[in-house]
Chain A
Amino acid sequence: MATETTTLRGGVKAAELEGIKRESLVLNKRSMQWITDRICGIVENRQPFIWWILFLPSVVLAGCLMFTLVYLVSTGVGVWGNNQPVAWGWAIVNFVFWIGIGHAGTLISAILFLTRQRWRTSVNRSAEAMTLFAVVCAGIYPGFHVGRFWMVWFLAPIPNANAIWQNFKSPLLWDVFAVSTYFTVSVIFWYIGLIPDLATLRDRSKAGLRKALYGIFALGWRGGNRQWRHYEMGYLLLAALSTPLVLSVHSVVSFDFATSVVPGWHTTIFPPYFVAGAIFGGFAMVLTLMLPVRKLYGLEDMFTGKHIDNMAKIILLTGTIVGYAYIMELFISYYGANKFEADAFYLRIVNGPYTWAYYCMFFCNVISPQIFWFEKARKNLWVVFIVANFVNAGMWFERFVIIPTTLARDFLPGQWGYYSPTWVEILMFCGTFGLFLSLFLLFIRFLPVIAIAEVKGVLPEADPHYPEWTALRKKRGLQPDGPEVETSHH
C-alpha cells in the first residue's frame, strides 16, 4: 500500500507518524474485565504481609499523636517550644506542609481534567485520597494552636460567648474558610468519583455486610447514560470549581504571612510561590506513596512509566518555579533597598541562626530535581523515589525557613531568640505521619486505589468509533493501534 503519500492532520506524513507512536495509557492491551479484576482484587483478597508491617507501626504512631494531643490539652500549649518572639513554631510549619501536600491531589483531579490530560485517570483516585488525609493532618494544628481547644468554635462564623463576631478582615479567618471549604469540596469530588466504582464493588460482592455497605455508599448507581450525562456534567463543574479553589487555598495560606508587616513575609510573590511549592511537594508525596503501591499490587500496566515520567517533569517544572521564587526574593530584597528586608534575607543566607536550613531547602527543592532533565533519571524508579523524598524534606524546610527564621530576629536585638521544638512537637509531627499512613493504608484496603470506570474510558476500544478508525488506519497502511488518524466522524 502507498503509505508515503498519506497525509494526516497537520500535514504530517503517515510513515513519519509511526516513528513517534504515542504510548498507550494502559499497557499490554488489557481488557476491561482485567482492569476490574485487578483493582477490585486489592480490596477483595487478603492484604500482603507488608501491608501489616506498615500498618501496625503507623497505628502506633497515630496513637502517639493522640497521646501528645491529650498531653497538650491537659497541660497547656507551653509544652510546645514556641514562645515570644517565635510565636509560630512547628505547629504552623507542619500545617502549611500538610496542606501543601494536599494540593497535588486537586491539581491532578481538577486541573489535569480540565486540560484533558488523560493520563490522570490512573493517578487521580489515590492522589485525591492523599489530599483528604493530608488536610486532616493539617487541620489538627491550627485547631490546637489556638491554645484552648474547647474554644475552637470561636473560629466558626457565629457570635462568640460575648456576642462578638469574627473579624472578617483578618487573613487568619480567611484561612478558616479556605481550608474548610477545601476539605469539604475535596470530599465531595472524591466521593462523586467513587460512586461508579463502589457500584462495581457492590456488584462483585456476595450478600452480606460487604455488599450492604458498598451498596449503601454506591447509592444504587446503575450506570445508565441518563445518569452518566449528569454525572459527567457534575464532574466537569466540580473540576472547574476546584481549579480556582486549589489556587486560592494556598494563596490564602500565604496571606497569613504576606499581609503582615514582618520583613521576609511581606512580599507579593508569596501567593504564586506558595501555590507552585504546594503542587511541587504534593507530586513528590504522590510518587512516594504510589511507587511502592504500584509495585506491591501489580498495577504497572495502568500506572505506567509514562505516568511517572510526566510527574517527574511536573516536579522539575514546579521545582524550577520555586527556585526562581527563591532567587527573586533575594534579588528584590537587594533591589528594593529596604534595610529590614535586606537584613532578613542576609540572616537567611549568610549568617543567621537557621542558615543551615536555608541551604538544606535550596539543595532539596532546587538542585535535586534538576536531575529530571535527563530521561534516564526519570525512568529509574530509585532515582525518582529518592528525589521525591528530597522534595518532601525540602518543602518542609521551606516552611521552616520562612517561619522561625524570620521571627527569631525581630526589629530590636532585645527581641531576638532561638526556637527549637520540644519532644512533644517532634512526636506530634511523627504522629501525623502515622495518621496519614494509617488512613492511606485503610484506603487501599477498602476502596479502589485506581478509578476503575475512568481507566476503562481511556482504553482504545472504549471509543464507539474504534472499529471505524481501526479500519481507516488499515486502509491507509498504518498499524492498527497507532496514533489516532483524522476521521470524518463528528
Chain B
Amino acid sequence: MKRAFAYVAEFDSAAAIYHAAEQVRDAGYKKWDVHTPYPVHGMDHAMGLGKSWLSGVVLCGGLTGFCTALFLQFFTQVDLYPTVVQGKPTNLNTVPAFFPVTFELTILFSAFAVLFGLLAFVMLPRWNHPLFGSKKFARFSDDGFILVIEARDAKFQEADTKEFLLSTGASGVELVEEEF
C-alpha cells in the first residue's frame, strides 16, 4: 500500500527558496523543511526556527568531564593509592598539577556530547527515508534547493498545497509516496 508522504518542490536559487520559506512559514505549515547543499545563511529566521540548544547538551558534557577528571585524580591520588613521588604529597595544594588532565577531559567529554547530541537532535543515523525515493530530492546534495511539505502536516491538502507551492515560485513539484 502506498500513501502520500510529502510534496517535494524544487527552486532555482538560494534566494528563491529563502523567500518561499518565508511564505510557507507565514501560511502556518509545521511539518516542512528546506533541503539545501549547504546551510543557507538566515534560513532559521525564514523558517521561524529558534536557536539550536545543542550548546546546552555540550555544557552538560563539559561539566561531566570536568567532574570526572577531578574525581579521578583526587580519589586515586589522595584516597585510593597515595603515591609520594620525589617527596611531594598530594592534597588540595596540588590542584594546579591537576589542571591539564581536567582541561583535556572537559574538552573530550564536550566533544563527545557534540557528536552524540548532534546525532540525537538531527535523528540520525536513519539510513532509509521515503524522500530518498525521489530523483528530484536527491539533487539537494548537488545544486538543488528543495522544499518539502509533509503529508502529516495538519494544513496539508493534495490539491491546495501543490498550488500553494507553485505560487511561491517552485520550478517543479512532485508528490512522493511512502509504503506502509
Residues in A lying within 8 Å of B, measured CB to CB: 31-33, 36, 157, 159, 163-171, 173-174, 177-178, 181, 184-185, 188-189, 191-192, 196, 199-200, 202-204, 215-216, 219-234, 237-238, 241, 244-245, 248, 252, 255, 452-454, 456-457, 461-468, 490
5 sample A-B contacts, Cβ–Cβ < 8 Å, listed by A number: A188-B112, A200-B141, A221-B141, A245-B107, A468-B15
With A196-B37, A224-B34, A467-B13 already in contact, 19 other A-B pairs whose C-beta atoms are closer than 8 Å: A33-B142, A168-B73, A169-B85, A169-B97, A174-B100, A177-B101, A188-B115, A196-B38, A220-B125, A220-B126, A224-B35, A227-B122, A233-B51, A233-B54, A244-B107, A453-B39, A454-B38, A461-B14, A464-B15
Contact indicator B55/A456 (Cβ below 8 Å): no
Answer whether residue B27 sits at the interface, using C-beta atoms and an 8 A cutoff: no
**How many whole Å from A203's CB to the nearest CB in chain B?**
5
| Residue total for B at the interface (Cβ-Cβ under 8 A) | 70
**How many whole Å from B111's CB to the nearest CB in chain A?**
4
Query: How distant is the Cα of A462 from the Cα of B36 in the complex, in angstroms?
Result: 10
Contact indicator A185/B125 (Cβ below 8 Å): no
- Closest CB pairs A-B (n = 5): A464-B18, A32-B143, A457-B38, A224-B33, A233-B52
Binary A-proximity of B87-115 (CB < 8 A = 1, otherwise 0): 01010001001101101110110111011
Answer whether residue B5 sits at the interface, using C-beta atoms and an 8 A cutoff: no
Residues in B lying within 8 Å of A, measured CB to CB: 13-15, 17-19, 21, 33-44, 46-47, 49, 51-52, 54-55, 58, 72-73, 76-77, 80-81, 83, 85, 88, 90, 94, 97-98, 100-101, 103-105, 107-108, 110-112, 114-115, 117-119, 121-122, 124-129, 131, 138, 140-143, 148
Query: How distant is the Cα of A169 from the Cα of B87 in the complex, in angstroms?
Result: 12
Contact indicator B38/A456 (Cβ below 8 Å): yes
**How many whole Å from B7's CB to the nearest CB in chain A?**
14
Q: With A167-B85, A177-B105 in contact, do A230 and B52 touch (Cβ < 8 Å)?
A: yes
Contacting residues, chain B, for A170 (C-beta < 8 A): 85
Contacting residues, chain A, for B108 (C-beta < 8 A): 181, 184-185
Contact indicator A215/B39 (Cβ below 8 Å): no
Residue of B nearest to A227 (CB): B122
Contacting residues, chain A, for B21 (C-beta < 8 A): 225
Contact indicator A234/B104 (Cβ below 8 Å): no
Q: With A157-B72, A192-B115, A219-B127 in contact, do A177 and B100 touch (Cβ < 8 Å)?
A: yes
Contact indicator B142/A255 (Cβ below 8 Å): no
Residue of A nearest to B125 (CB): A219
A-B contact count (CB 8 A): 219
Query: How distant is the Cα of A167 from the Cα of B73 in the complex, in angstroms?
Result: 9
Residue of B nearest to A224 (CB): B33
Contact indicator B39/A232 (Cβ below 8 Å): yes
Residue of A nearest to B44 (CB): A229
Q: With A184-B111, A230-B52 in contact, do A223 and B73 touch (Cβ < 8 Å)?
A: no
A225 in complex: contacting residue of B19, B47, B55, B73, CB < 8 Å? B47
Query: How distant is the Cα of A221 from the Cα of B54 in the complex, in angstroms?
Result: 18
Q: Which of A31, A219, A222 has the most CB of B within 10 A?
A: A222
Contacting residues, chain A, for B52 (C-beta < 8 A): 229-230, 232-233
